[in-house]
Chain A
Amino acid sequence: MTSMIDVRDLTKVYNGEPVVDGVSFTVKKGEIFGILGPNGAGKTTTLEMLEGLRTIDDGSATIDGIDVASNPRRIRSLIGVQPQTPSFEEKTKLTELINFFAATYGKTVNAREFLADVQLLEKANSYPEQLSGGQRQRFSIAAALVHSPKVFFLDEPTTGLDPQARRNLWELIKEVRDRGVSVVMTTHYMDEAEILCDRIAVMDGGKIVALDTPKRLIAALLKKGFKKPQQVQQANLEDVFIDLTGKELRE
């Protein structure tokens, strides 16, 4: 597989303090790449530099071979962005918003098709402020994909969603990957990273402290002799919750 994103020694400095401190990684075509880390680790800033929203203070980043710092406009046509809290102009029908986002890339699309992809067809004439949290996240994904981007950035996409909505969103993100799109996402949920991400970079203090597949990261820890104090159960409380309430979306 060829690499879609290539990041070398990426650095961002705020008031003399490096927030992102010489980060390097590559993201392959059609993989889900997770960036994990506690608050303030530099996850969002890293994403924002790749999205062209923040200037790159040092180092370099290319997407599909194009330098991010010197071609921000070309980069924007290649990427789709899902912000941490998607927010849209009010009193605007979902179809109108999809049409507008497509127009920003100079495209006209069939908005209803994109809404159908994220199971929001029956909400076509609703306004975004009338959607539930999960629906809004799904709509935001549809809006971010109107121009068939090669890379899709998601910043903590499932924060604040109920378990059903989270699972639904995971499926959606996997579908996007299976279309050959490289997905880069941040998250605070380890279960989410384990289930969803093909590879994971763990950040702390602006640096990447580990980078591998979830399985190999766990194996490496076990190899060091790590043992959980309690007995491993075959199910956890979330399994109980899903068993009791089902996987069906509630909105």
Chain B
Amino acid sequence: MQKVKQALLPVFVFATIDIRRLFRDKIAIFFTFLFPLIFLFIFGGIFGQDSSVSFNVALIDQADSQFSQQFTEQLKKGGVLEVDSTLRTISDAATAMERSQIDAIIVLPPSFGESQAATNYPSGEVRLQYSKNNQQAGQALSSILESHLDSLNKSVVGTQPQPFTVSIEPTGKPGLSSLDYLFPGLVGFTILGLGLFGPTSVFPRLKQRGVLRRYHTTTLQVWQFVLGNVLSNSAAALLAVAVMITVAITVPLFDVSIQGNILLLALFVVLGAVVIFGIGLSIGGWAKNENQAAPLSNLVSFPMMFLSGTFFPRFLMPEWLQNVSSFLPLTPFIDGVRMIMVEGRGLLDVMPQFGMLAVWGIIIYALAFRVFRWE
């Protein structure tokens, strides 16, 4: 017992000092805690409020009748159109569209809503102008206008029910934004960054300065040094993920929620951080200088960055690529975080992911110890 305690002493002393060092280093603080948040804000800004897609339009009401004003009010109520009321003429609106300030121009011509001589009900044509560069907005807007006109037609003509109808049912769990599905990928990206870019730059630098060589003249053993680093780095990674999750939950823009057990999530994050850090440790422990470490770390991290589901969901990939990428060490991590966080799964459900991470961990650390060099 005394011996074990003595053997673990340098591990704990190193880990505590290493964590203190992290908080003394402004650049390290930035890359550990703020850098992931920047990604969160970028992706949260893009995907966070997907439920409220809106188009900026100019609405030029040339008819200016009671009918056209009612129609305008209805369009605005739909919530999809953000009408820029400062644009009152077609030429102003056209200029604004050229500058991409608005997506389209809706024109209600002077005759809009007037009754034709042959009929006793109002009719008219809504003109939609959009830029050729913005086809998607044009198509979306035209179908929005069509649906508005459709209900208008029904109320005016009062035709009997249509024989063929489509019923629309929005699906998906309530309260889950698309950021909920993307967030685990961002967690994976953070773990990848911390686990790879830290050790692959720090260890070669320490070697070149002879710091590790000095350690080697003491009775410090490789496993003690490695374990100390693993402890401090997984603690930092857990903290970074905790900061990320806290921000994602509390900032209304993101509206991310945790469905599953938070302790299970923490355990899983730590395991993932340890495994991914092992990759960085293998590279940094092997490399004599940064010139050896940098290309190797890029080579290893790029496939995971793009294929493990960090930014692009894996289900969008061709099947063969999905099969290949499922074997990358980051993939079970991101899948597991998604299952626990978003789908609320329990320990038994994520056992395959746990197992695969553990197998990777054994392989990676066996390699790390084999290739480690003090200088």
Q: Do A and B bind each other?
A: yes
Give A residues with C-beta under 8 Å from B.
51-53, 73, 76-77, 79, 81, 83, 85-92, 96-97, 99-101, 103-108, 147
B214–A81 CB distance below 8 A: yes
Measured CA separation A53–B24 after assembly (Å):
32
B220 to chain A, nearest CB (A): 4
B209 in complex: contacting residue of A51, A87, A91, A96, CB < 8 Å: A87
A103–B219 CB distance below 8 A: no
A191 to chain B, nearest CB (A): 27
A108 in complex: contacting residue of B9, B21, B211, CB < 8 Å: B9
B206 in complex: contacting residue of A85, A89, A103, A104, CB < 8 Å: A89
Residues of A within 8 A of B215 (CB): 104
A104–B220 CB distance below 8 A: yes
B214–A86 CB distance below 8 A: yes
Residues of B within 8 A of A73 (CB): 219, 221
B148 within 8 A of A: no
B79 within 8 A of A: no
Measured CA separation A106–B220 after assembly (Å):
9
The residue in chain A whose Cβ has the minimal distance to the Cβ of B217 is A81
Q: Interface residues of B, CB < 8 Å — how many?
A: 25
The residue in chain A whose Cβ has the minimal distance to the Cβ of B202 is A89
Interface of A is mostly: loop
Measured CA separation A197–B323 after assembly (Å):
69
Residues of A within 8 A of B219 (CB): 73, 76-77, 104-106
B218–A101 CB distance below 8 A: yes
Contact flag A103-B14 (CB < 8 Å), given A87-B209, A91-B25 = yes
Contact flag A87-B13 (CB < 8 Å), given A104-B220, A106-B6 = no
Residues of A within 8 A of B9 (CB): 103, 106-108
B211 in complex: contacting residue of A81, A87, A99, A107, CB < 8 Å: A87
A104 in complex: contacting residue of B10, B25, B210, CB < 8 Å: B10
B152 within 8 A of A: no
* CB 8 Å contact bits of B312-345 with A (1 = contact, 0 = none): 0000000000000000000000000000000000
The residue in chain A whose Cβ has the minimal distance to the Cβ of B208 is A87
Contact flag A87-B210 (CB < 8 Å), given A76-B218, A92-B21 = yes
B20–A96 CB distance below 8 A: yes
A124 to chain B, nearest CB (A): 14
> Taking each of A79, A89, A108, which has the highest tally of chain B beta carbons within 10 Å of its own beta carbon?
A89
B7 within 8 A of A: yes
Residues of B within 8 A of A91 (CB): 21, 24-25
**Among residues 144 to 176 in chain B, which have CB atoms less than 8 Å away from a CB atom of chain A?**
none
Measured CA separation A179–B23 after assembly (Å):
40
Contact flag A100-B24 (CB < 8 Å), given A81-B217, A106-B7 = no
A100–B6 CB distance below 8 A: no
Contact flag A85-B210 (CB < 8 Å), given A91-B25, A92-B17, A100-B17 = yes
B76 within 8 A of A: no
Measured CA separation A184–B9 after assembly (Å):
30
B10–A106 CB distance below 8 A: yes
Contact flag A89-B211 (CB < 8 Å), given A76-B217, A105-B218 = yes
Residues of B within 8 A of A90 (CB): 21
Q: List 14 A-B contacts (CB under 8 A).
A: A53-B213, A81-B217, A83-B213, A85-B210, A88-B214, A91-B21, A92-B17, A96-B20, A97-B17, A101-B218, A103-B14, A106-B219, A107-B9, A147-B218
Residues of A within 8 A of B88 (CB): none
Measured CA separation A78–B9 after assembly (Å):
19
Residues of B within 8 A of A86 (CB): 214
Closest 4 CB pairs of A and B: A106-B6, A81-B217, A104-B220, A103-B13
B216 within 8 A of A: yes
B218–A104 CB distance below 8 A: yes
Residues of B within 8 A of A107 (CB): 9
> Taking each of B10, B213, B221, which has the highest tally of chain A beta carbons within 10 Å of its own beta carbon?
B10
Measured CA separation A79–B217 after assembly (Å):
8
Residues of A within 8 A of B220 (CB): 104
Measured CA separation A158–B221 after assembly (Å):
30
> Taking each of B214, B215, B221, B224, which has the highest tally of chain A beta carbons within 10 Å of its own beta carbon?
B214
Measured CA separation A104–B10 after assembly (Å):
5
Residues of B within 8 A of A79 (CB): 217
Measured CA separation A107–B6 after assembly (Å):
8
Contact flag A53-B21 (CB < 8 Å), given A83-B210, A100-B10, A106-B6 = no
B13–A100 CB distance below 8 A: yes
Residues of A within 8 A of B21 (CB): 89-92
Measured CA separation A105–B221 after assembly (Å):
10
Residues of B within 8 A of A100 (CB): 10, 13-14, 17
Residues of B within 8 A of A103 (CB): 9-10, 13-14
B57 to chain A, nearest CB (A): 55
Residues of A within 8 A of B24 (CB): 91
Measured CA separation A89–B214 after assembly (Å):
11
Measured CA separation A89–B25 after assembly (Å):
12
Measured CA separation A52–B217 after assembly (Å):
7
Measured CA separation A76–B220 after assembly (Å):
9
Measured CA separation A101–B216 after assembly (Å):
11
Residues of B within 8 A of A104 (CB): 10, 215, 218-220, 224
